[in-house]
Amino acid sequence: MNKPLRRIAIFCGVLMLALMVRTNYIQYVRADDLNTRDENRRIRIERYAHERGDIIVDGKAVTGSVETDGSDFKYKRVWKDGPLWAPVTGYSSQAFDSSQLESLEDGILTGNDDQLFFNRTLSMFTGDKKQGGNVVTTLNGDAQRAAFKGLGDKKGSVVALDPKSGAILALASTPSYDPSVFAGNSNKDSEARQKLLKDKDKPMLNRALRETYPPGSTFKVVTAAAALENGLYDDIDAKTESPLPWILPQTDRELQNEGNIPCKDASLREALRWSCNTVFGKVSDDLGNQKMIEQTDKFGFNKEVFTP
């Protein structure tokens, strides 16, 4: 082979090698990065090409999927009584991604999680449509509805827990919103979301999980436990040494109760029943800060709590 041909052959070989290196780099090294790019519309089209799995309460789905018109995204998310369940499920939107359970359990709901590998493989041979998996919650539907109804037009939240396991039985937040109104990717969906974001009452704020509140009278349970465990009182039905009125330490200010309730020297049982501020204020002062702090630690205060 003469010299010019040899140079051309070497040059072409280098080009082929560079092409192979580049192709393998894109397919293997940068695959995940390219798949997750916002500009990669094919991934998003595939994401909404099949029905999303449902979120389950009491064995029934509180979510669903419907076909869309005028979009290359075939299915979008819908909710059954969206404002009731939004504080739990969060939203799933073709235009604005997802939040809460819809986000945290997205792999299951889209069917892409490794736990569903067998189902995906089987569907390749059976020809069945790809389907998302369902997410089963610990919620009690009646408790959730009661909490939501009880809040009414107020701003606030209600959370009910199983004291043995910590399972969430109800998680309501008001005012709430319907995630269905911006589940698509149209101008109408964008306008609906902007309206919610501009609402001064902040309906999209999950007051159960994204706000901090003083514990209020629920803390009296901790105070009562501290009194018993530290021997301040050993009988929940024995009278406490709780005068009425009771003056807050280092002040001349009376600690008030809610109305004319029987709190003078009330037992721990009665004080809990009537929610006597004076009794538990004095109990806390008699025990001192250190013993109260030790008791709160036993109840799980000052520890991280991981809630979906």
> Based on the domain organization, do 124 and 54 belong to the same domain?
yes
Please indicate, yes or no, whether residues 175 and 114 belong to a single structural domain of this protein. Answer: yes
Domain count, the chain: 2
The 10s digit of each residue's pLDDT in 249-307 is 999 999 999 989 999 999 999 999 999 999 999 999 999 999 999 999 999 888 887 78
Instruction: State whether 188 and 234 are in the same domain.
Output: no
Q: Single out the residue of 280, 254, 258 nearest to residue 267, CA to CA.
A: 280
Q: Domain range for residue 293? A: 216-297
Please give the model's pTM, rounded to 2 decimal places.
0.71
Confidence band of 121 (pLDDT split at 50, 70, 90): low
- Domain shared by 53 and 191, yes or no: yes
Catalytic choice (157, 217, 242, 284): 217
User: 133 and 103 in one domain?
Assistant: yes
Q: Is residue 1 part of a domain?
A: no
3-state secondary structure the chain: CCHHHHHHHHHHHHHHHHHHHHHHHHHHHCHHHHHCCCCCHHHHHHHCCCCCCCEEECCEECEEEEECCCCCCCEEEEECCHHHHHHHHCCEECCCEECHHHHHCHHHHHCCCHHHHHHHHHHHHHCCCCCCCCEECCCCHHHHHHHHHHHCCCCEEEEEECCCCCCEEEEEEECCCCHHHHCCCCHHHHHHHHHHHHCCCCCCCCCCCCCCCCCHHHHHHHHHHHHHHCCCCCCCCCCCCCCCCCECCCCCCECCCCCCCCCCCCCHHHHHHHCCHHHHHHHHHHHCHHHHHHHHHHCCCCCCCCCC
CA-CA distance, 106 to 53, in Å (whole number)?
9
Q: Is residue 2 part of a domain?
A: no
- Per-residue model confidence (pLDDT) at position 77: 94
pLDDT at position 117 is: 65
Query: Domain end: 168, 198, 228, which one?
Result: 198
The reply to whether 150 and 221 lie within a common domain is: no
Q: Does a structural domain hold residue 14? A: no
Task: Please check whether residues 252 and 142 belong to one and the same domain.
Answer: no
Angle at 47 between CA 44 and CA 50, to 5 degrees: 140
Boundary of a domain, candidates 198, 229, 248: 198
Q: Is residue 35 part of a domain?
A: no
Residue 215: pLDDT band with limits 50, 70, 90: confident
165 labelled catalytic: no
Same domain membership, residue 185 and residue 222: no
Question: Do 86 and 223 lie in a common domain?
Answer: no
pLDDT greater than 90 at residue 35: no
Helix axes 141-151, 82-89, angle to 10 degrees: 110
Q: Distance between CA 98 and CA 183 in Å, rounded?
A: 9
pLDDT of residue 96 exceeding 80: yes
Q: Which of 7-21, 28-42, 134-148 has the lowest mean pLDDT?
A: 28-42
Q: What is the mean pLDDT of residues 198-204?
A: 95
CB atoms within 10 A of CB 209: 15
